[in-house]
Amino acid sequence: MKIGIVGAGMVGSSAGYALAMMGGVSEIVLVDRNDALARAQAEDISHAVPFVSATLVRSGAYHDLAGARIVILAAGVSQKPGETRLELLERNAEVFRKVVEAVRNAAPDAILLIATNPVDIMTHVATKLSGLPPQRVIGSGTILDTARFRSLVGRHLGISPQSVHAYVLGEHGDSEVLAWSNARAGSIGLETFADQIGKRLDATVRQSIDDGVRNAAYRIISGKGATYYGIGAGLARIVNAIARDQRDVLSVSIVTDMVEGVTDVALSVPRVIGADGVLADLFPELDRDEQAALRKSAMLIKEATESLRL
């Protein structure tokens, strides 16, 4: 299967690298307005391929995306000094006006996978611009926050992150909601499991895990300037679910008819992902506080989306 990546910066190239490492796709084409960067990233990634897979990695122009089943959109501009979040958002929406049209012309059947931040709003923008059904315009959303949540809970309880079933819902950002009330270790409620093995899972522990998840990006950015390996692997995971029609349940963002009373908003809940994109949405049972927090998160995204002239 052929995969396109538009935007060969840190996130796009990390996604390309993770995809090449995971195997399972035949060709990756990197496109960037900076041709030299796309060429260099493709060449560098292609040199990692012989150690693990046989994926063809190359750079190209938009027409080289023809036949791609999935195109990752990781193109964007960074914040200028003094620029507001809304101004940045408007410039990124402008980038998407060009990019989405070019991708749709070259690869009309492709599923779009959105990575550019703020990812929920950019997913809404790409859905509107493309005219595609929401199930085929998927934002990486909280896939990474969910992975961070599972990793911290697993570490605390001494089990693998894959054995923790827990999701982060809502915005990929400050208002995200860690759904503790339905989280499981194997098939057992987290608190019961913690009791059984004599570990604490009280408000202080939860708060420190919440903080670890919510503020991870800030900590990483203060140390190394950007985050990209985690999201690169998350994007590759979504591509694999689509490419192999795996019907995995992953927390990703699409424009959703109604969440906690808020209509037409892009945010993350667990969703079934297969060859045609999102096949079903799951709305976990939440306690009252989580419901209220998810509603607040949905309203924040909705307001920010509406402030943008689409």
* Binding region for NAD(+): 11, 32, 62, 76-77, 115-117, 140
| Single-letter code of the amino acid located at 142 | T
Per-position b or e across 185-206, b if 16+ CB within 10 A of its CB: beeeebeebbeeeeeebeeeeb
Q: Is 8 in the site for ligand ADP (CB under 6 A)?
A: yes
Q: Is 72 in the site for ligand ADP (CB under 6 A)?
A: no
Whole-number minimum distance, CB 169 to ligand ADP, in Å? 23
- Answer for which of 188, 221, 226, 292 binds ligand ADP (CB under 6 A) is 226
Instruction: Give the residue closest to ligand ADP by C-beta.
Output: 9
# binding residues, ligand ADP (CB under 6 A): 21
**Active-site choice (47, 124, 156, 172):** 172
**Residue placing its CB nearer to ligand ADP in the complex, 70 or 231:** 231
Q: Is 86 in the site for ligand ADP (CB under 6 A)?
A: no
- Burial of 175 by CB count in 10 Å (0-12 exposed, 13-18 middle, 19+ buried)? middle
Beta bridge mates, 113: 72, 138
- Answer for which of 3, 5, 11, 107 binds ligand ADP (CB under 6 A) is 11
Beta strands 2-6 and 70-73: pairing type?
A: parallel
CA atoms of 35 and 59, how far apart (whole Å): 8
**Residue placing its CB nearer to ligand ADP in the complex, 15 or 304:** 15
> 124 an active-site residue?
no
Whole-number minimum distance, CB 74 to ligand ADP, in Å? 5
Q: Is 34 in the site for ligand ADP (CB under 6 A)?
A: yes
Phi and psi, residue 150, nearest 5°:
-65, -40
CA atoms of 66 and 55, how far apart (whole Å): 17
- CA torsion angle for 255, 256, 262, 264 (degrees, to 10)? 50
Q: Which residues have a catalytic role annotated?
A: 172
